[in-house]
């Protein structure tokens, strides 16, 4: 299945892009996607925080299965205001 | 009114958006760019958002405030892009029959916005360095 992955703020700096399309096995979870990304972008393995996860623009758990999800964003701790 | 915008925020726009004839109070909060961060001189902040999700979260905050407080209307506007010291980065206005509910709802919206809405700021220091603000946990 195909997932659109979005990056923001320091995560975008760490991977050098703001979005990309990733191919995953059916049944893959958010955690599996994250492991694949850390393998591709080693700087993600040394971030000073654990990102928040949003699936299709709603906050999600790391255990969630991605079947049916179109867009996943890993979010640095937010700092609006 | 729920907006993300690159243009300067005009507080009067929010006041006019929420005010009604049954309201005896409008509480307005504005967040502004400060000239220092932990003792270091700041010259500007740069804001970025996960725009579509941020707008959804801000709309939810507005609806929740209307449900949980005795208020008439809520306006939430956040600025994006580069802001100089003194500029308004965020504004929340709440109208109500009485001031207590307006103050309470305004504070609740701001507190939750800072914790949950996917917006980030980068501090630009006088020496040219730039650092994303990423509060732990």
CATH at residue A49? 3.10.20.30
Q: Count the domains in chain A.
A: 1
User: Whose CA is closest to A53, among A29, A67, A74?
Assistant: A74
Domain presence at residue A80:
no
Complex ipTM, two decimals?
0.94
pTM for the structure as a whole: 0.95
Helix and strand tally (H, E) in chain B?
3, 9
Q: What is the DSSP letter of B98?
A: S
In this structure, the number of other CB atoms found within 10 A of the CB of residue A23 comes to: 9
Domain annotation for chain B: domains and CATH numbers: 2-132 (3.90.1170.40)
Q: Tell me the pLDDT tens digit for each residue of B33-74.
A: 999 999 999 999 999 999 999 999 999 999 999 999 999 999
**For a pLDDT cut of 90, what percent of chain B falls above it?**
96
Could you tell me if residue A81 is inside a domain? no
Q: Do A79 and B119 touch (CB under 8 A)?
A: yes
Asked if the Cβ–Cβ distance from B52 to A8 is below 8 Å, we say no
For residue A52, give both structure tokens.
């928040």
pLDDT of residue B137: 53
Collect all residues with Cβ–Cβ distance below 8 Å to A68 and sequence separation of at least 6.
none
| Residue of chain A minimizing CA distance to B48 | A9
Is B58 at the interface with chain A, CB within 8 A?
no
pLDDT at B135: 81
Within a domain: residue A57?
yes
A27 touches chain B (CB under 8 A): no
A15, A58, A70, A81: which to substitute to probe chain B, counting the most B Cβ within 10 Å?
A81
Residue pLDDT, tens place only, A7-63: 999 999 999 999 999 999 999 999 999 999 999 999 999 998 989 999 999 999 999
């Amino acid at each position: 299945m195909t997932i659109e992955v979005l990056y923001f703020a320091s995560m975008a700096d760490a991977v050098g892009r703001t979005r990309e399309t990733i191919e995953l096995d059916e049944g893959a979870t958010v955690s599996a996607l994250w492991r694949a990304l850390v393998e591709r972008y080693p700087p993600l393995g040394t971030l000073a925080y654990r990102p928040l996860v949003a699936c299709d623009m709603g906050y999600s758990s790391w255990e969630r299965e991605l079947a049916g999800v179109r867009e996943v964003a890993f979010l640095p701790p937010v700092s609006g205001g | 009114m729920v907006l993300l915008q690159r243009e300067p925020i005009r507080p009067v726009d929010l006041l006019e958006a929420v005010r009604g004839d049954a309201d005896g109070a409008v509480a307005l909060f504005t967040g502004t760019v400060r000239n220092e961060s932990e003792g270091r001189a700041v010259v500007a902040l740069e804001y970025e958002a996960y725009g579509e999700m941020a707008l959804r979260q801000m709309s939810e905050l507005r609806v929740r405030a209307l449900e949980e407080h005795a208020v008439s209307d809520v306006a939430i506007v956040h600025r994006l892009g580069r802001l100089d010291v003194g500029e308004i980065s965020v504004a929340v206005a709440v109208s109500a029959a009485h001031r207590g509910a307006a103050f309470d709802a305004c504070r609740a919206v701001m507190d939750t916005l800072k914790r949950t809405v996917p917006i980030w700021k980068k501090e630009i220091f006088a020496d040219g360095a730039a650092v994303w603000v990423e509060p732990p946990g």
